[in-house]
Structure 1
Amino acid sequence: MTVNSISFPHPVLGNGDDISDGSISPEISFQISDESIRVDVTSLQTGHPDFDRMIEAGEAVWHLRVQCPRTYMREDFFESGSNKTFHLEGVDFEGLVTIEVSLVTTTTLATYRPQGLHEDYGEEKFRLGRGEVVGIGPRYQFLIDKIYDPLKAPVSSIIRIEEGEDSEGPFTVALDTDLIMIHLSKSDYKEYAGITDRVPTVIHSALVLPVLADAIRQIEDYAESTLWAARLKYLLDIRDIDTEKPLQAAQEILFSPIARTFREVNMRLDKGDD
């Protein structure tokens, strides 16, 4: 989950250091099937007396927004309690889904001034209309990919190697498609086809490893628009792989491809299989 700082014309709980007291950190869990997605949101609370009073008095309500960039689906839910369960149609969502949690006003507030304001606000009081954001929580993301098993074949479900249009020359990489596409020249692809099933670790070391490292380096740029980025981000998260060093992260995903290549090549040389 991530938190974004946004510029508002009034102080907002959870937005940087606008307000020092309280916080918004609900717990969100998912149950996913082909037909439906159940989302359970608990611990919808602020820990701030002024905002808790506003919710209890009906002056503010929780706003849960679900968005799926891949299918352009967006749904909004409102809740005044501390827990909320809602269901989504499974067919309407695919790829990375984002849930944003905020607290919005339901009426006009003539003198909005919650306690714990940053000193920069001085003694100013604010007049807010209906629908104004007064609190924001983290942004939660989860992956809807019904055929993807990250523990079985992480590379084949992220990267595809195909023959390109050039007769010779270096390979090219496309990251703006659903899968990472590696296009080999026609001459290179012919050689690749002859070894791909015989020495797959060599393919991992020579081709997949550098491409995967570069993809990890740029993953945030494609996280909401491509399926490979959503899958790769999910894989990195469930295996708790640090992305600060993309080349090292790529080696972890591929289970030490260099070491496996060395062992395979040495084994073939020892057997005289060249």
Structure 2
Amino acid sequence: MTNTTSYPIPVLGGGVPGNSDVASRWEVKDITVETMTEDVPIRMRVCCDDPDLKKLLDAGDVAIKARWDCPSTFSSGYLDLSKIQPHADGATYESSIDQRMICNWVTVSIFVVACRNIPGFHWERQHPDYGDAAFDVSAGDLLAVPQQFSFIPEKLYDPQRPPLNSIFNIVRDNSRKEGIRTELGQDQIEVQCGKDLFDNLQLWTSARLQLMSVVFPALIDAIGYMQENEALGENGDLSMKWCSTLRELIQSAGLKTDKRPLELAQKLLRQPIDGFLDEYTNQIKGQ
């Protein structure tokens, strides 16, 4: 059967191999990311041979968009894509991310979104199960399953102006077989992952998985330390730069530092457990 659970209409990349929603190619390849620069350039080739998508793109009814997410800095945003090379089956796009906004794993999602309402839309190559059915597409609807890739940037750091939000540094601890521990440094919180855990995380493209399994518990630990030392008054040690950053993040989110660490961490990370389970459930439904 085709994929009718995750999306209200048949979409490019939906269904399963050999039994797709739409019998057209949809993939992202030839990805290059240059690091050690002030702005991190990203280049990708978006491939799709569907004639209906081409018509929609040419008419401005839909657009190819890309969104990035960096759990370590609690930052995300849309890439400003520029088409630099057209191809018979799509185009090559490029964009960039300010290196001060990212640290450790960054995940980029590429998708097709409707820019306006498209009543009575019909894919010429849609699965026979749909017959001649037409669909009312609303502005904001996705017409393709998001394609994802992840990378870890090598960053330039100005010692006089370190990145404001980069408070975590996730590293591989070869002396540990499992689990994580935190080392509260002066500038950053080093999250030391067991070697198997670290290696396994690199096999996943989901930034939300790393957010839930590594950043979330480390953030709870950091908030707990900060609260304990705030309670000590003059005897507490809050001299670390990451403490100032964390306090600023809490205040900018409209939260109070006296809330329990678990509650604060969940709100700062926008409910990481729910987010990962929603993402994983949608992937399962789309298979």
Sort the TM-score into its range (normalised by shorter chain): 0.5 to 0.7
Distance 2:60 2:31 in 1: 24
For residue 8 of structure 1, what is the aligned residue in structure 2?
7
Contact 2:62–2:116, Cα closer than 8 Å, also in 1 = yes
Q: Which 10-residue stretch deviates more, 79-88 or 31-40?
A: 79-88
For residue 174 of structure 1, what is the aligned residue in structure 2?
179
Contact 1:96–1:224, Cα closer than 8 Å, also in 2 = no
Distance 2:65 2:46 in 1: 10
Note the 1:49-198 alignment, pairs <5 A: 49-77=51-79, 79=81, 81=83, 82-146=91-155, 158-159=172-173, 174-175=179-180, 177=182, 178-180=190-192
- SS of 1:117's partner is coil
- Unaligned 5+ runs, structure 1: 148-156, 162-170, 182-210, 228-274
Contact 1:62–1:101, Cα closer than 8 Å, also in 2 = yes
Counterpart residue type for residue 180 of structure 1: Q
- SS of 1:51's partner is helix
Distance 1:96 1:123 in 2: 43
- SS of 1:37's partner is strand
Deviation at 1:146, TM superposition (A): 3.8
Distance 2:151 2:71 in 1: 12
Distance 1:159 1:118 in 2: 49
Distance 2:132 2:73 in 1: 46
Counterpart residue type for residue 28 of structure 2: S
For residue 231 of structure 1, what is the aligned residue in structure 2?
none
For residue 49 of structure 2, what is the aligned residue in structure 1?
47
Deviation at 1:89, TM superposition (A): 1.2
The verdict on how the C-alpha distance between 1:216 and 1:44 changes in structure 2, with shifts beyond 3 A counting, is: closer
- SS of 2:26's partner is coil
Deviation at 1:106, TM superposition (A): 1.1
Give the fraction of aligned pairs with identical amino acids, expressed as a percent: 18
TM-score by length of 2: 0.52
Counterpart residue type for residue 55 of structure 1: L
Deviation at 1:138, TM superposition (A): 2.4
Distance 2:62 2:174 in 1: 49
For residue 212 of structure 1, what is the aligned residue in structure 2?
195
Counterpart residue type for residue 12 of structure 2: L
Distance 2:72 2:201 in 1: 18
Deviation at 1:9, TM superposition (A): 0.8
Deviation at 1:62, TM superposition (A): 0.6
TM-score by length of 1: 0.55
**Cα-to-partner distance string for 1:110-155 (whole Å, 9 max, x where unaligned):** 11111221233233210011121102352111012449xxxxxxxx
Counterpart residue type for residue 62 of structure 2: A
Counterpart residue type for residue 103 of structure 1: V
Distance 1:174 1:24 in 2: 35
Q: Which 10-residue stretch deviates more, 218-227 or 75-84?
A: 218-227
Counterpart residue type for residue 212 of structure 1: K
Contact 1:33–1:146, Cα closer than 8 Å, also in 2 = yes
Deviation at 1:69, TM superposition (A): 1.2
The verdict on how the C-alpha distance between 1:88 and 1:214 changes in structure 2, with shifts beyond 3 A counting, is: closer
Q: Which 10-residue stretch deviates more, 7-16 or 129-138?
A: 129-138
The verdict on how the C-alpha distance between 1:89 and 1:142 changes in structure 2, with shifts beyond 3 A counting, is: same
Q: Give the length in aligned residue pairs.
A: 176
Distance 2:154 2:120 in 1: 47
Alignment partner of 1:19 out of 8, 17, 22:
22
Alignment partner of 1:38 out of 33, 41, 47:
41
Distance 2:134 2:181 in 1: 47
Q: Which structure: larger Rg?
A: 1
